[in-house]
Amino acid sequence: MREMGMAGSSGVAMDEDPRNLNLVRCVQHGLYYDKTKASGCRKCLSGAREVAIKMTSEAAPFRVGDLRQKPAKRAFLGLLISLVLGFLPAVYYCFGPGKEEIGKVRVEQEVMSRQPGTEEILKRFDQLDAQVAPLHEKASRNVAIVWVAVTSVCMLGWYKIT
| Local mean pLDDT, 10-residue blocks, the chain (162 residues) | 49 56 82 82 83 74 69 88 93 88 89 87 90 90 93 91 80
Residue 74 pLDDT: 85
Residue 5 pLDDT: 47
Whether residues 53 and 69 fall in one domain: no
Whether residues 54 and 78 fall in one domain: no
Taking the C-alpha atoms of residue 78 and residue 75, their distance in angstroms, rounded to an integer, is 5
Nearest Cα neighbor of 82 from 162, 2, 1 is 162
Taking the C-alpha atoms of residue 49 and residue 83, their distance in angstroms, rounded to an integer, is 43
**Domain ends where: 26, 41, 59?**
59
Whether residues 144 and 89 fall in one domain: yes
Residues of the domain holding 77: 64-161
Residue 64 pLDDT: 60
The 10 Å Cβ neighbour count of residue 150 is 18
Whether residues 113 and 142 fall in one domain: yes
**How is residue 108 annotated by DSSP?**
H
Whether residues 90 and 156 fall in one domain: yes
- Overall domain count for the chain: 2
Residue 1 pLDDT: 45
- DSSP, residue by residue, 35-53: TTT-SS-TTTTHHHHHHHH
Whether residues 151 and 129 fall in one domain: yes
Whether residues 10 and 69 fall in one domain: no
CA 91 vs. chain centroid, Å, equals 22
Whether residues 51 and 75 fall in one domain: no
Whether residues 97 and 122 fall in one domain: yes
Whether residues 2 and 52 fall in one domain: yes
**Domain ends where: 43, 59, 75?**
59
Helix/strand/coil for 113? helix
**Domain ends where: 23, 38, 59?**
59
Give 114-134 pLDDT, tens digit per residue. 888 889 988 998 999 899 889
Whether residues 109 and 130 fall in one domain: yes
Residue 16 pLDDT: 56
76-104 burial string, b = 16+ CB within 10 Å, else e? ebbeeebeebbbebbeebbeeebeebbee
Whether residues 28 and 97 fall in one domain: no
Residue 156 pLDDT: 92
The model's pTM is: 0.52
Taking the C-alpha atoms of residue 8 and residue 31, their distance in angstroms, rounded to an integer, is 9
